[in-house]
């Protein structure tokens, strides 16, 4: 997997998690579940490991991971009280 492929994968996941936040905030539970399945498929490559990145590519990967984590927190902020 090349650096560009790694970044493309993380950009795709970040975009999907942005969509998940919007679905959760609007109460679109079916949409949230559908997008969650897309994230699972897109994340398969991460499970096998990805090459280490350097320089600007590494910084971009870190920024994308922070965005994904913030999206996860935003989704949990909506879903955890609802699930309780």
Which domains are delineated in the chain?
A: 3-83 (1.20.58.380)
**9 closest CA partner among 59, 64, 53, 72:** 64
Return the DSSP state at 1.
-
Using the predicted structure, report yes or no on whether residue 25 has a pLDDT greater than 80. yes
The angle that helices 29-42 and 3-25 make with each other, rounded to 10 degrees, is 170
pLDDT for 40 equals 95
- Cα separation of 79 and 84, whole Å? 9
Least confident of 16-25, 27-36, 46-55: 46-55
The model's confidence at residue 46, banded by pLDDT at 50, 70 and 90, is confident
């Amino acid at each position: 997997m090349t650096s560009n492929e790694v970044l493309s994968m993380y950009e795709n996941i970040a975009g999907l998690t942005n969509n998940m936040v919007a679905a959760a905030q609007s109460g679109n539970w079916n949409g949230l579940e559908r997008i969650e399945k897309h994230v699972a498929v897109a994340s398969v490559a991460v499970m096998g490991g990805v090459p280490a990145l350097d320089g600007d590519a590494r910084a971009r990967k870190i920024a994308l991971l922070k965005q994904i984590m913030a999206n996860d927190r935003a989704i949990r902020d909506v879903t955890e009280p609802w699930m309780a």
